[in-house]
Amino acid sequence: MMTDQKIDLKSTDLFDIQRTMRAMRRLKPDPIPNALITQILEAATCAPNGGNSQKWRFLVIKDPEIKKAVQVYYKRAYDEVQKPRHDAQAPKEPGPALDQHHRNEAAIEYLTENFHKAPVWIIACAEEVNSPSASSGASIYPAVQNMLLAARALGLGATLTARHITFRIEVEKLLGLPDNVSSFAILPIGYPVGRFGPTSRTPLGKVAFLDSFDNPWPY
From first to last of the 219 residues of the chain, give the pLDDT tens digit: 444 456 777 788 888 888 888 889 999 999 999 999 999 999 999 999 988 989 999 999 999 999 999 999 999 999 999 888 888 888 888 888 888 888 888 888 999 999 999 999 999 999 975 666 667 788 899 999 999 999 999 999 999 999 999 999 999 999 999 999 999 999 999 999 988 888 888 888 899 999 999 999 987
Neighbours of 126 (CB within 10 A): 21
Domain limits of the chain? 27-88+106-193
The third-level CATH classification (topology) of the domain covering 27-88+106-193 is NADH Oxidase (3.40.109)
| Alpha-carbon distance values, 33 to 17, 50, 120, 145 (Å) | 21, 31, 10, 21
How are the residues of the chain apportioned to helix, strand and coil, as percentages rounded to the nearest 5?
45, 15, 40
Q: What is the dihedral of CA 26, 32, 35, 40, to 10 degrees?
A: 20
Local structure of 63: helix, strand or coil:
coil
